[in-house]
Structure 1
Amino acid sequence: MEHSEYLNPGSEPALGNAAEDVIIYPPKYRKPEEKRTNVWLKSATSLLLYLVLGYYIFKSFNMLLLITAIVVFHELGHFFAMKTFRYKDLGIFFIPLLGAYVSGSKREVSQRESAIILLAGPVPGMIIGFLVYYLYHRDPSLEFGGISLYTISISLIFLNLINLLPVYPLDGGQLLNRVFLDESGLISRFFVLLSIALMTWFALFGLGTPIYPLLLFPAMMLFRLFGDNKLNAVEKKIEEEGFNLDLSYNELPDEDYWKIRNILVTDYGPLKDLEPAPPFEFSPKEDKVMAIIESLLHRKLIQDLSWTGKTIVLLAWLFFLASPWLLQMDLEFFRRFGF
């Protein structure tokens, strides 16, 4: 009966008794359990920062709470939809002055599930906005928390309507990219670049006066795009070396982890300050190494929407985009923003 021992990180490779030395690779890196529980602490911290900087902008605590409540309700729609479809490592994170997003991971991503998740954020908020707008017309004097129902309804509708626009990374843009485009193809890349250009134009000229904080979104997207290009070159080299990237992180062999890690350390700029293995030592950047390797492993996009299904999604999307006009709402507020 053969027996082998795994090396602890930091030890030298074991030598086999055969003619050639045999390296027995230690287990790949896994996040410590306590780091997973920090997700909600980070969410709370980002929310606090969001509120502090938001108050600096709005100067009205009631209005700040309204906007924050709308954002939270929107993100909870995404969150519970993702939870229903068994996404892992879920968390809600707030970006001061810009909004929030839900993070989560899943090996196999379905077009149908993606459409539901992306629409689960803006659609419920818009429906509630329409109901509040109806109540306002029944009694224009009604208020909630010192804010008129008209302001509440328009805020609900407008903020969620913005998210339905076909601009990446808004919900509408992600819907278009994932359901109707090949999200890893050339057309998708052009669409992302076009979205960056549109957001840059809007931040500088869309409201008549530059809103410089809005430039953060296109800047982050451009930075990520350049990073993806560098990573794509490394991914190509890894595949040329014969590694199978059609795996989940749990399925990735320990040996492949350390060998892919060595390629990253050698060829990927942000990790070039790390030492290649052996010795098999986890660095303080190992969380980042793990995240990069996870991003290299091919996610499976299940094409489970027929043309009929895509047509239904498209019609629902267009309906909610056009709903304020279809319902003949008072659009004076919208016209201030060029709608």
Structure 2
Amino acid sequence: MVQDINPQLRQTSSQRSPAALLRKLLLTREGGVLCAVLLLAVIFTAMSPVFMTAPNIINLLRQISLLGILSIGATFVLIISEVDLSVGSLYGFSGLVAGSLLVAGVPEVPVIVLVLLLGAGIGALNGGITILGGIPSFITTLGTLYLIRGITLVISNGMAVSLPYGSGTAPVLKFLSQGQVFGLSIQVVLLIVVALVGFVLLHRTTFGFHVFAVGGNERASRIIGVPTGLVKVTAFAIAGSLAALAGMVNFGFLENVQPVTGSGLELDVIAAVIIGGTRLGGGQGSIAGTLLGVLLIGIVRNGLVLLGVTPFWQTTLIGAVVLAAALIGGVTSKNRSK
């Protein structure tokens, strides 16, 4: 009897050993990205004495905050095995609409609420067209990408929209964009709040369970009673509303918006989410992983700027990081399936 139990005890003990726990962590996508983040931080710290200073870290966190907000919304969409290419255009469009209304004298709070609802509505429209039309979301959102960008250019007539200098307009939006708490940008606080809400919604609610179910097997989810259409539309609406929020914050920070603001931003968003471990095929992903993916991209760009590397090489290295993340994801998936 004792001889039968002891091997089990030894096996349980070995599974709880630091080496076993470390191996288990590294086999997760989040663990792999975390290791990459730490490795890059060490490399850039060794190459630039400025990298690990408090001002640079605070600046880095502020730089990635809006990308993080956008990427959290995109995480919901990618987990349901869809993609939203219109978030960059919606980001710029939302800032332009908010700026135009504020300059026209519309009260600030109604403008913020209206733009958030507009973003959610456009996101829901993306989901509705995809579902009702039976069109791949790639095609749907590629179309709305150009449609929204075109409307932005028409409304603005190709001209930037700016708040009057020293007018005191939009104090709430300026606080959310430019304010600080204990030396930390409010933009970072906003990212933390959005991340916490997103985490609870995705990982602690029935809706989150439905999101993973639809992404894992939509047909099976429909059979067991999951409202797949509603889940998809809601996921797109979340992505749209967060794109609108980020666009308004960007406008409040710069106090102006260009008609081409947000061009190409959707690629950074998708890259961050994929690097963070969300599978393009759906069914897998996490808010924590997405934040790590955003942080990794931010570290690469920040570190290369400090080293004086041209933006061309920055783009090249981001592409290499995406490919490496995809390869690592494939290897870890195979190891976990063994």
**Under a length normalisation based on structure 1, what TM-score does the superposition of the two structures give?**
0.25
Give the helix-richer structure, 1 or 2. Answer: 2
**Under a length normalisation based on structure 2, what TM-score does the superposition of the two structures give?**
0.25
> Looking at CA atoms only, which structure, 1 or 2, has the larger radius of gyration?
1
Say which structure, 1 or 2, has more relative contact order (CA 8 Å, 6+ apart): 2
